[in-house]
């Protein structure tokens, strides 16, 4: 079986040498210490049901689901508590049997308050979902598969939580040639995808089989960073004979798991700016999402639990856990022995792009791939200094932007110039520039602000335009019929 | 107080396991590379220590006074007029050290101090401090000295012979504003001066080791190169700039030698004068050189070309300082025309083709 070399006619020069030595990759990027050894070898364990689960209705990208339960309702594990509200939306299911105690505001992991369904878990319930009819996937049309995936509430489990069924539905004029499975897991500390690949390679291949049928593609590639040799080996030795699946060991480099970087590494093609992977004929799915899809078609159960890496030097017993969706951070930390005395930062997701949590009552969601607790020594940062134009951010940026210049423009709040001249919208907020900046300038934070600032500026411009058009219309109306001026005014 | 209890949403008191971590809320990324601007600056200072020691070896302990005076000028000015704590970032120390290394061994101390103060005050603070300056402050300080004290800055005491370690040579202790050149001193022309005015070419080995006349840091090309290689390996300087400058200078001198055989060869051109120090430590000043790699090549080519032109046809024997200062002024323009191609977009040339 070929490794990655020689693909796309091979790369020449230094890039070719690096591909030969370290596996295919993209240009630029950074090398944070991967810190995965805390949990990489620990088998996945199941966490006991907590006393309460809190299910935010906004757990995915797109429209939040709509609650269909009321306070006092009895729900069984797997029952729908919120239905999909539109096409880019998925339902939310009860992750434990119990009683609905509240449908109202609750702290959301993104830092805001949002509507959530609270369920008091019934301690004596057997927690077995209602029996389900498991659809035989081979007899299903692509539409039916997508419907089943949506009904099961499956979203991308890599972090962005984009509804999976939408990705499985490329427009008719786009030919999809390649199903690309993202097992890079380039974020430091996280090992949940790694454990899924090691412990459930069959599930991964089963999920791939269903996806390939649904998309009508006959080739799939699993991209795994080379720091997971056991996962690569397990996946390779379990490939079913009738399935064209290739496992590629990729360079260990952040952000190797970003969709566009992964596609570049595997196919050599760049997704055009502002376009989606499907424009180069690829559909990318996270490996854990694929395993979740397989589970849906194996058991009929919806997405009500996920594998979470609880790790970092700030937690006493790091482990890979199966956690019911909606379990509160406090319960998870308690099960992992609690926080070390010097814990300073709790992060949902990986340390490069994850969100910090100030509140131990926030629930873990479908998209929460990890809980990373850092201590002072990892989270300490040098003092913020002026930019000295060292150029490290340019050398780090995987999409070849000029973060230094963008940072200067952000300080001037010149969002339009950031977007037009320096292509702010190509920034995916991976944080590589902030990571390497010796002056510790919060570049990616400034770009996040810049993006929202830009939206506001554009909104204002649009409103002004509309206002002008209205005035113009009024003036013409007035010109045409001078007697109506007063009505217009 | 625990930060989350104030929200009113935590219903249960913290248990022993999760009590009282004072949680920090910082934007991602939550990790940071173990490097800082101050560390870069102080590492640059550290790599210059061998160069300073070499110049002590060649010119005696007096050179420490010259360097010390220049550093005092930069650091006192930074402390007095710069932002609080700015001395800790090490940039003023580098400016002073580099300025000191461009001066002759017997340079009056008060002038060195003044040059340092001018370099920081008018070369850096007036633009807004660290990161904002257009010109290399050390070179601006030296340009000021060259204009103000043209005789003192071209009086080159001879290399130490025998045990005159403690001899203070030249006008080191001349009182301020009292004129210069009143002390007798054995001088020695610099290799570039010898070439320009006498037509003599020094041996490459002498140049490499540094046993020739010249300013403090013009002497030991070898140690400067070693420092540069270390900094380049640590990614503390952009290797494209010195490599580009050396290649350009070598290329032009080979070319001119073909036309006129009395023109010195590439090795002499590279290792004489301040070119090595300038190419490795001054042109690579991050603040005043292009941030893009394409820009670095253009910048280096410009410096190399100007150095050869000034040395060959200008009125001065040495042109590194002006070459770098001139190219410094062009950096914003060079950066503008060398913006990297963004991922997923066509190269600029193709875009233009498409438009046309």
Residue B30: which of A37, A411, A254, A188 has the closest Cα?
A188
Integer Cα distance of B183 and A40 in angstroms: 74
Q: Say if the Cβ atoms of B343 and A333 lie within 8 Å.
A: no
The full DSSP string for A33-57 is: ---GGGTTTSPPEEPPP-SEEEEES
Classified as helix, coil or strand, A284 is strand
**Is A101 an interface residue toward B (CB < 8 Å)?**
no
Task: Flag whether pLDDT at A27 surpasses 70.
Answer: yes
Query: What is the average pLDDT across A151-167?
Result: 90
Q: Say if the Cβ atoms of B291 and A391 lie within 8 Å.
A: yes
Selected for mutation to probe chain A from B344, B351, B354 (highest A CB count within 10 Å) is: B344
Q: Say if the Cβ atoms of B18 and A439 lie within 8 Å.
A: no
Task: Flag whether pLDDT at A1 surpasses 80.
Answer: no
Integer Cα distance of A295 and A202 in angstroms: 11
**Is A389 an interface residue toward B (CB < 8 Å)?**
yes
Q: Say if the Cβ atoms of B342 and A423 lie within 8 Å.
A: yes
Q: Give pLDDT, residue A447.
A: 93
What is the Cα gyration radius of chain B? 24
- Note whether A219 and A317 are within 8 A (CB): no
Integer Cα distance of B263 and B309 in angstroms: 12
Place A8 in a pLDDT band, splitting at 50, 70 and 90. very low
Lowest-confidence range among B22-36, B137-151, B168-182, B310-324? B168-182
**Is A360 an interface residue toward B (CB < 8 Å)?**
yes
Q: Say if the Cβ atoms of A402 and B37 lie within 8 Å.
A: no
Residue A194: which of A311, A331, A314, A278 has the closest Cα?
A311
Q: Give pLDDT, residue A430.
A: 93
Lowest-confidence range among A317-326, A381-390, B111-120, B178-187? B178-187
Task: Flag whether pLDDT at B293 surpasses 70.
Answer: yes
Query: What is the average pLDDT across B255-275?
Result: 85
Q: Give pLDDT, residue B170.
A: 61
Burial A206-235 (b: 16+ CB within 10 A, else e): bbbbbbbbbbebeebbbbbbbbbeebbebb
Residues 447-466 of A with CB under 8 A from B: 448
**A273: chain B residues, CB-CB within 8 Å:** 342-345
Place A427 in a pLDDT band, splitting at 50, 70 and 90. very high
Residue A254: which of A283, A225, A276 has the closest Cα?
A225
Q: Give pLDDT, residue A114.
A: 93
Query: How many contacts, defined by CB atoms under 8 Å, are there between A and B?
Result: 203
Place A378 in a pLDDT band, splitting at 50, 70 and 90. confident
Percent residues over pLDDT 70 in chain B: 79
A57 Cβ neighbours under 8 A, 6+ residues apart: A64, A65, A66, A67, A82, A92, A114, A115, A116, A117
Integer Cα distance of A301 and A326 in angstroms: 16
User: Which residue of chain A comes nearest to B331, CA vs CA?
Assistant: A389
- Bigger pLDDT: A158 or A372? A372
Task: Flag whether pLDDT at B176 surpasses 70.
Answer: no
Sheet with A66-67: list strands edge to edge: A66-67, A80-83, A92-93
The 8 Å CB, 24+ separation contacts for B81-88 are B81/B121, B81/B125, B82/B120, B82/B125, B82/B129, B83/B129, B86/B129, B86/B130, B88/B38
Q: Say if the Cβ atoms of B29 and A438 lie within 8 Å.
A: no
- Note whether B106 and B170 are within 8 A (CB): yes
Residue A187: which of A285, A289, A256, A288 has the closest Cα?
A256
**Is B293 an interface residue toward A (CB < 8 Å)?**
yes
Q: How far is CA A435 from CA A430, B36, B259, in A?
A: 9, 11, 52
Residues 91-110 of B with CB under 8 A from A: 91
Q: Give pLDDT, residue B5.
A: 35
- Bigger pLDDT: A52 or B165? A52
Task: Flag whether pLDDT at B352 surpasses 60.
Answer: no
A267-289 pLDDT per residue, tens: 988 999 988 898 899 999 999 99
Eight-state DSSP code of residue A8: G
Task: Flag whether pLDDT at A31 surpasses 50.
Answer: yes
**Both tokens assigned to A227:** 């720091």
What is the nearest CA distance from B40 to chain A, expressed in angstroms? Answer: 8
Query: What is the average pLDDT across B157-161?
Result: 69
B192-216 pLDDT per residue, tens: 777 766 666 666 777 776 667 677 7
CA B170 to chain centre: 25
Q: Give pLDDT, residue A14.
A: 66
**A343: chain B residues, CB-CB within 8 Å:** 21, 23
Task: Flag whether pLDDT at A9 surpasses 50.
Answer: no
Q: How far is CA A328 from CA A52, A98, B144, B146, in A?
A: 8, 16, 66, 70
A192-234 pLDDT per residue, tens: 999 999 999 999 999 999 999 999 998 999 999 999 999 999 9
Place A235 in a pLDDT band, splitting at 50, 70 and 90. very high
**A434: chain B residues, CB-CB within 8 Å:** 28-29, 32
Q: Give pLDDT, residue A306.
A: 94
Query: What is the average pLDDT across A4-24?
Result: 61
Q: Give pLDDT, residue B187.
A: 67
Which residue carries 């000034």 as its tokens?
A: B310
**Is B11 an interface residue toward A (CB < 8 Å)?**
yes
Query: What are the φ/ψ torsions at residue A235 (nearest 5 degrees)?
Result: -65, -40
Q: Where are the alpha helices (DSSP H) in A283-342?
A: 287-299, 329-335
Q: Say if the Cβ atoms of B4 and A359 lie within 8 Å.
A: yes
**Is B23 an interface residue toward A (CB < 8 Å)?**
yes
Residues 426-445 of A with CB under 8 A from B: 426, 429, 431-432, 434-436, 438-440, 442, 444-445
Pairing of strands A245-250, A66-67: unpaired
**Is B3 an interface residue toward A (CB < 8 Å)?**
yes
- Bigger pLDDT: A475 or A483? A475
CA B206 to chain centre: 23
In this structure, the number of other CB atoms found within 10 A of the CB of residue A268 comes to 17
Task: Flag whether pLDDT at A7 surpasses 60.
Answer: no
The full DSSP string for A107-128 is: E-TTSSEEEEEEEEE-TTS--P
Place A40 in a pLDDT band, splitting at 50, 70 and 90. very high
Residue A385: which of B91, B283, B63, B45 has the closest Cα?
B91
Place A299 in a pLDDT band, splitting at 50, 70 and 90. confident
Mean pLDDT over each residue of chain A, to the nearest integer: 89
Residues 128-157 of B with CB under 8 A from A: 129-132
Percent residues over pLDDT 90 in chain B: 44
Degrees to nearest 5, angle at CA A176 with A171 and A182: 110
Which residue carries 């814990």 as its tokens?
A: A343
Q: Cis omega (within 30 of 0) on the bond before B25?
A: no
Q: Say if the Cβ atoms of A355 and B28 lie within 8 Å.
A: yes
> Any bridge partners for residue A250, and if so which?
A225
Percent residues over pLDDT 90 in chain A: 66
> Any bridge partners for residue A341, and if so which?
none
Pairing of strands A92-93, A66-67: unpaired
Residues 33-62 of A with CB under 8 A from B: 33
Task: Flag whether pLDDT at A388 surpasses 80.
Answer: yes
What is the Cα gyration radius of chain A? 24
User: Which residue of chain A comes nearest to B341, CA vs CA?
Assistant: A400
**A429: chain B residues, CB-CB within 8 Å:** 28
A339-371 pLDDT per residue, tens: 888 888 999 999 999 999 988 999 999 999 999
What is the nearest CA distance from A437 to chain B, expressed in angstroms? Answer: 8
Selected for mutation to probe chain A from B14, B22, B30 (highest A CB count within 10 Å) is: B30
Q: Give pLDDT, residue A329.
A: 95
Q: Cis omega (within 30 of 0) on the bond before B246?
A: no
Q: Give pLDDT, residue B175.
A: 66
Q: How far is CA A118 from CA A208, B10, B29, B236, in A?
A: 34, 14, 31, 54
Closest in B17, B339, B342 to A399, CB measured: B342
**B36: chain A residues, CB-CB within 8 Å:** 382-383, 385, 438-440
Q: Say if the Cβ atoms of B28 and A314 lie within 8 Å.
A: no
Q: Say if the Cβ atoms of B21 and A344 lie within 8 Å.
A: yes
Mean pLDDT over each residue of chain B, to the nearest integer: 82
Task: Flag whether pLDDT at B324 surpasses 80.
Answer: yes
The full DSSP string for A178-227 is: EEEEEE---SSS--HHHHHHHH-HHHHHHHHHHHHHHHT---EEEEEETT
Q: Give pLDDT, residue B167.
A: 65
**B22: chain A residues, CB-CB within 8 Å:** 344
Q: Give pLDDT, residue A433.
A: 95
Place A488 in a pLDDT band, splitting at 50, 70 and 90. very low
Place A380 in a pLDDT band, splitting at 50, 70 and 90. confident
Burial A391-423 (b: 16+ CB within 10 A, else e): bbbbbbbbbbbbbbbbbbbbeeebbeebbeebb
Q: Give pLDDT, residue B289.
A: 94
């Amino acid at each position: 079986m070929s490794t990655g070399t020689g693909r796309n006619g091979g790369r020449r020069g230094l890039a070719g040498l690096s591909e030969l030595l370290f596996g295919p990759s993209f240009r630029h990027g950074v090398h944070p210490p991967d810190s995965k050894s805390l949990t990489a070898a620990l088998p996945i364990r199941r966490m006991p049901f907590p006393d309460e689960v809190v299910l935010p209705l906004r757990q995915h990208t797109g429209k939040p689901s709509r609650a269909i339960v009321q306070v006092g309702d009895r729900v069984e594990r797997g029952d729908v508590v919120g239905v999909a509200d539109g096409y880019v939306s998925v339902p939310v299911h009860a992750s434990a049997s119990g009683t609905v105690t509240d449908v109202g505001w609750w702290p959301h992991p993104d830092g805001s308050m949002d509507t959530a369904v609270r369920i008091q878990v019934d301690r004596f319930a057997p927690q077995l979902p209602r029996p389900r009819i498991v659809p035989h996937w081979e007899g299903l049309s692509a539409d039916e598969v997508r419907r089943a995936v949506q009904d099961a509430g499956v979203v991308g489990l890599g972090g962005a939580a984009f509804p999976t069924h939408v990705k499985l539905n490329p427009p008719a004029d786009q030919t999809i040639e390649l199903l690309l499975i993202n097992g890079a897991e380039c974020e430091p500390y996280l090992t949940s995808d790694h454990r899924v690949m090691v412990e459930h390679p069959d599930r991964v291949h089963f999920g791939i089989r269903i996806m390939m049928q649904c998309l009508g593609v006959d080739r799939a590639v699993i991209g795994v960073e080379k720091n997971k040799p056991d996962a690569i080996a397990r996946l390779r030795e379990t490939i079913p004979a009738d399935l064209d699946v290739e496992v590629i060991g990729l360079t260990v480099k952040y952000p190797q798991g970003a969709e566009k970087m992964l596609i570049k590494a595997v196919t050599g093609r760049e997704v055009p700016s502002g376009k989606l992977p499907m424009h180069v004929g690829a559909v990318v799915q996270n490996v854990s999402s694929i395993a979740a899809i397989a589970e849906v078609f194996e058991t009929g159960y919806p997405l009500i639990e996920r594998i979470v890496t609880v790790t970092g030097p700030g937690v006493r017993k790091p482990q890979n856990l199966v956690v019911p969706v909606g379990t509160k951070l406090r319960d998870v930390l308690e099960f992992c022995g609690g926080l070390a005395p010097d814990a300073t930062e709790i992060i949902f997701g990986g340390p490069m792009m994850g969100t910090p949590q100030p509140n131990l009552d926030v629930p873990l969601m479908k998209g929460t791939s990890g809980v990373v607790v850092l201590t002072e020594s990892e989270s300490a940062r040098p003092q913020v200094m002026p930019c000295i134009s060292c150029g490290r951010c340019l050398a780090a940026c995987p999409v070849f932007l000029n973060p230094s210049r963008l940072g200067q423009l952000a300080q001037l709040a010149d969002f339009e110039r950031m977007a037009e001249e320096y292509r702010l919208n190509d920034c995916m907020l991976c944080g590589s520039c902030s990571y390497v900046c010796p002056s510790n300038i919060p570049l990616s934070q400034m770009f996040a602000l810049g993006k929202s600032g830009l939206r506001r500026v554009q909104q204002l411009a649009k409103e002004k335009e509309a206002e002008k058009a209205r005035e113009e219309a009024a003036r013409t109306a007035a010109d045409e019929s001078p007697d109506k001026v007063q009505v217009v005014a | 107080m625990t930060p989350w209890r104030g929200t009113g949403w935590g219903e249960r008191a913290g248990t022993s396991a999760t009590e009282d971590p004072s949680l920090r809320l910082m934007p991602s990324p939550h990790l940071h590379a173990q490097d800082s601007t101050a560390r870069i600056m102080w590492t640059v200072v550290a790599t210059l220590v061998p160069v300073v020691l070499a110049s002590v070896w060649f010119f005696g302990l007096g050179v420490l006074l010259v360097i010390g005076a220049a550093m005092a000028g930069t650091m006192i000015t930074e402390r007095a007029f710069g932002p609080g704590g700015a001395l800790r970032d090490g940039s003023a120390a580098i400016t002073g050290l580099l300025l000191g290394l461009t001066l002759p061994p017997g340079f009056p101390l008060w002038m060195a101090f003044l040059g340092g103060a001018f370099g920081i005050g008018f070369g850096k603070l007036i633009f807004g401090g660290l990161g904002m300056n257009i010109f290399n402050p050390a070179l601006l300080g030296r340009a000021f000295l060259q204009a103000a004290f043209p005789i003192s800055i071209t009086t080159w005491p001879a290399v130490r012979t025998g045990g005159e370690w403690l001899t203070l040579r030249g006008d080191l202790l001349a009182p301020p504003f009292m004129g210069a050149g009143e002390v007798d001193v054995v001088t020695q022309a610099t290799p570039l001066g010898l070439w320009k005015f006498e037509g003599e070419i020094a041996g490459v080995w002498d140049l490499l080791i540094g046993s020739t006349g010249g300013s403090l840091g013009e002497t030991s090309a070898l140690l400067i190169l070693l420092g540069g290689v270390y900094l380049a390996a640590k990614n503390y300087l952009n290797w494209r700039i010195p490599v580009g400058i050396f290649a350009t200078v070598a290329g032009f001198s080979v070319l001119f030698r073909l036309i006129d055989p009395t023109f010195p060869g590439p090795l002499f051109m590279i290792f004489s004068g301040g070119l090595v120090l300038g190419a490795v430590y001054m042109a690579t000043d991050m603040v005043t050189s292009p941030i893009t790699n394409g820009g670095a090549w253009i910048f280096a080519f410009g410096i190399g070309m100007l150095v050869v032109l000034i040395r060959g046809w200008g009125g001065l024997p040495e042109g590194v300082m002006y070459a770098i200062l001139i190219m410094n002024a062009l950096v914003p323009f060079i950066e503008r025309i060398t913006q990297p191609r963004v991922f997923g977009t066509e190269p600029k040339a193709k875009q233009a083709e498409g438009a046309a």
